[in-house]
């Protein structure tokens, strides 16, 4: 999945590595050799069970329990949370990666056009179309296929391979069936529609690198300068906006740059409970108070 106007497309699923691929990766890893386009990592950290706030990472010297259950002191990423009492600025990162080329740009331009015209339906349609170019090819299960069948065909083919079926009108059903592994031919395995890629994972890694440029400039890795993060935005104190500007990270139109959503105004109160669960009171440039959730 992805957010077309966001900082990065999110890879929510991909095919598991085949056993022979895993053996190849282990062999390369043991020889300290790596394939140039592969970077799938597993990261371990201890997350407090009683914490339900949005985690914001910050590097600090802390005492923690390691995997062996022993106490250890060292510089580790810990998690700050909270509640804003400063005037904050939302830094929206313009879309970083335009995978899909000309088609994505056309959909993006149409979405922005419909937004300006107040056409919410048209804007959302363009967003969904753009997202599908990122996400659906990544999420495609090579062992699942879908059919449009009438009731007679469904009854004739109803067996243990059918995973789900949904009636869409008086006579037709969308049926999801499993494909047995032996049924997949060599030709099928070359099809991009049947072979999920790890595109989203690599895009994510590149995009996080761009996001880190913003965090680094305001020293956000070492100080609690970031109050909330979303896929394409940082909520920071307005005093840090000048730092981003001096670093050349600010633009209203350029990709990979930030823009200020609130102009001369800002967030004067914010409560952040979890990702996508937030409440802001915003003071606009005109001096009007508004709620933002």
Domain span including residue 86: 19-99+198-292
CB atoms within 10 A of CB 81: 15
pLDDT at 78 over 60: no
Mean pLDDT of 166-179: 85
Q: Is residue 243 part of a domain?
A: yes
Q: Which residues contact 61 (CB under 8 A, 6 or more apart)?
A: 73, 74, 75, 76
Integer Cα distance of 8 and 128 in angstroms: 15
Digit-coded pLDDT (tens) for 240-283: 888 888 888 887 777 677 777 777 778 888 887 777 778 888 88
Q: Is residue 11 part of a domain?
A: no
| E strands in the chain | 56-65, 71-80, 83-84, 88-93, 144-150, 162-167, 172-178, 226-230, 233-237, 258-260, 266-274, 277-283, 289-292
pLDDT at 220 over 80: yes
Q: Is residue 172 part of a domain?
A: no
Domain count, the chain: 1
Digit-coded pLDDT (tens) for 116-159: 888 888 888 787 777 666 554 445 566 788 888 998 998 888 88
Q: Is residue 149 part of a domain?
A: no
Is 200 strand, coil or helix? Answer: helix
Q: Is residue 281 part of a domain?
A: yes
| E strands in 66-143 | 71-80, 83-84, 88-93
* pLDDT, position 272: 79
**57: nearest Cα among 201, 216, 210:** 216
């Amino acid at each position: 999945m992805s957010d077309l106007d966001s900082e990065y497309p999110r890879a929510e699923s991909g095919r598991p590595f085949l056993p022979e691929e895993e053996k190849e990766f282990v062999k390369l890893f043991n020889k300290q050799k790596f394939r140039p386009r592969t970077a799938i990592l597993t990261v371990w950290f201890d997350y407090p069970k009683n914490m339900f706030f949005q985690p914001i990472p910050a590097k600090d010297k802390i005492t923690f329990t390691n995997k062996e259950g022993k106490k250890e002191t060292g510089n580790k990423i810990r998690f700050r949370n909270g509640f804003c009492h400063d005037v904050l600025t939302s830094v929206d990162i313009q879309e970083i990666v335009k995978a899909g080329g000309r088609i994505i740009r056309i959909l993006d331009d149409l979405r922005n056009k419909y937004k300006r015209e107040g056409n919410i339906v048209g804007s959302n349609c363009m967003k969904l179309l753009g997202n599908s170019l990122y996400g659906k090819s990544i999420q495609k299960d090579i062992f699942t296929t879908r059919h449009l069948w009438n009731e007679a065909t469904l009854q004739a083919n109803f067996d243990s391979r059918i995973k789900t079926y949904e009636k869409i009108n008086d006579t037709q059903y969308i049926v999801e069936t499993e494909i047995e592994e032996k049924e997949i031919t060599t030709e099928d395995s070359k099809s991009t529609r049947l072979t999920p890629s790890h595109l989203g994972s690599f895009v994510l890694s590149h995009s996080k690198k761009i996001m880190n440029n913003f965090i680094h400039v305001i020293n956000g890795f070492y100080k609690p300068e970031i109050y909330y993060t979303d896929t394409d935005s940082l909520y920071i104190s307005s005093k840090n906006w000048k730092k981003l500007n001096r670093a050349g990270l600010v633009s209203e139109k350029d990709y990979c740059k930030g823009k200020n959503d609130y102009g001369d105004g800002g967030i004067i109160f914010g409560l952040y409970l979890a990702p996508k669960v937030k409440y802001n009171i915003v003071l606009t440039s005109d001096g009007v108070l508004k709620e933002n959730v």
